[in-house]
Amino acid sequence: MKAIRKISFILIILFTFSFTTAFTTKNADEFIKWIDCKVPYEILLAAYEYDKEFNKSEEVEFDFIKALAYLATKNGNNFRIQRDKNELKELVAKLKNGKRIDDFYGENKYYKYYVEGYTGIFAEFIGSFKNADGEIVYGLKNFHPFPKGFWYNHYDDFGVSRSYGYTRKHLGHDLMGSIGTPLVAIESGTITELGWNRMGGWHLTIRSHDKKRGYYYAHLRKGKPFVKGLKIGDVVEAGQVVGYLGVTGYSYKIDSNMTCSPHLHLGMQLIFNESQVKGASEIWIDMYQISKFLSHNRVQVEKDGEEYKRVV
């Protein structure tokens, strides 16, 4: 009898342990595995203008991220510019009548998914900050990587085929420019990568303070890719010059140029779990529309000796 009780006790312990482990594993695995950002620039801008307009309103609770999630849920992530501008206008009218955005799709799983996903992308794009006069203002906090006065052109090249090394999709956004163009931090964060790899040449990564975003800058300038003294672990501020545009990469030989036009390969990696930092589970999003949105906030820089620095 004692032996049976002992065996039963052991089985209960093993069952409890197995159940707890399975439950814990299930919860640990509940994070976003992939998200597409298909929001057109025009809709980003329209939602941003509403967000600024009602920032201090006590009557209308407008939220940039939730408004985008509302549209994605309502329209099945199939955005149409004029239709969705009208949808935003109608949403604002409903909010003026006392509704909240959560009232429409608050319990919808897709709405929750888009809120979390868009928060991962845009969490630090808009908010309060101190301007050059020391005043607290509200608006777009993040910057376009190209400062004022420096030309660039671009098109939506996310997902197009690449063949160097192996056949793969292009998981970044190329912005053509001139060699030596200073490049600034889009968002404040920490330098987590800085150096050479055969695909991206001279490159660096800025990890946002909330650790949800990694901004990848590749193909930086031969001979002088980074601002002097920049190193892994450094904290940089949005708008701070971090490197210089070039055309390096596609070579095992360090400090080699490619045979193509100078450009910045810009990538945004989303990280909802640390397992997504490296490997097959990485999430990269299309930066084309976001880059157009950021073009409304380009920082001014000036030459200071051999380096460029932000003019505050």
Query: What is the mean pLDDT of the segment spanning 165-188?
Result: 89
pLDDT-based confidence at 166, cuts 50/70/90?
Answer: low
Residue partners of 293: CB distance under 8 A and separation at least 6: 41, 44, 45, 48
Report whether pLDDT(268) > 80. Answer: yes
Model pLDDT, residue 18 = 36
Q: Any residues with CB less than 8 A from the CB of 138 and at least 6 apart, and which?
A: 52, 55, 56, 126, 127, 128, 129
Q: Which of 17, 25, 72 is nearest to 47 (CA)?
A: 72
Q: Are 205 and 214 in contact (CB under 8 A)?
A: yes
Q: Which of 266, 290, 284 is nearest to 41 (CA)?
A: 290
Query: Please, how many CA atoms are within 13 Å of residue 78, restricted to the half-sphere of its CB?
Result: 2
Look up residue 186 and give its DSSP letter: S
Select from 269, 260, 248 the least CA-distant residue to 199. Answer: 248
The amino acid occupying position 182 is P
User: Which CATH number is 153-310's, of 2.70.70.10, 3.40.1440.10, 3.40.225.10, 3.40.190.10?
Assistant: 2.70.70.10
Task: Calculate Rg over the CA atoms of the chain.
Answer: 23
CA–CA dist 18, 26 (Å, integer): 12
Q: 150 is written with which tokens?
A: 């420096």
Residue 189 DSSP SS3: strand
The whole-number pLDDT of residue 190 equals 98
pLDDT in tens, 231-259: 999 999 999 999 999 999 999 999 999 99
- The span from the CA of 127 to the CA of 142, in Å, is 10
For the cut 80, the answer to whether the pLDDT of residue 8 exceeds it is: no
Domain locations in the chain as residue ranges: 41-122, 153-310
**Per-residue b or e along 180-199, where b marks 16 or more CB atoms closer than 10 Å to that residue's CB:** ebbbbbbbbbebbebebeee
Q: What's the pLDDT tens digit per position in 142-154?
A: 999 999 999 999 9
Average of per-residue pLDDT across 124-132: 91
Residue with the bigger pLDDT between 283 and 15: it is 283
Rounded CA-CA distance 126/239 in Å is: 14
Judge if pTM exceeds 0.75: yes
- Residues 51-55 have a mean pLDDT of 97
3-state secondary structure of 166: coil
Q: What's at 220, amino acid-wise?
A: L
Per-residue pLDDT band for 10 (boundaries 50, 70, 90) equals very low
Spatial distance between the Cα atoms of 270 and 182, rounded to a whole number of angstroms = 25
- What's residue 130's pLDDT? 87
Q: Report, as an integer, the average pLDDT of 304-311.
A: 94
Residue carrying the six token digits 């190209």: 146
Tokens of 143: 């910057």
Q: What is the mean pLDDT of residues 49-53?
A: 98
Q: Give tens-digit pLDDT for 72-88.
A: 999 999 999 999 999 99
The model's pLDDT over 202-236, given as tens digits with 9 standing for 90+, comes to 999 999 999 999 999 999 999 999 999 999 999 99
The arithmetic mean of pLDDT across residues 262-278, rounded, is 96
Provide the pLDDT for residue 2: 46
For residue 135, pLDDT beyond 80? yes
Does residue 185 surpass a pLDDT of 70? yes
Instruction: Measure the CA–CA gap between 59 and 80, rounded to whole angstroms.
Output: 28
Backbone angles phi, psi at 36, to 5 degrees: -100, 140
Average predicted confidence (pLDDT) for the chain: 90
Which residue is associated with the tokens 């620095």? 309
Percent of the chain exceeding pLDDT 90 equals 82
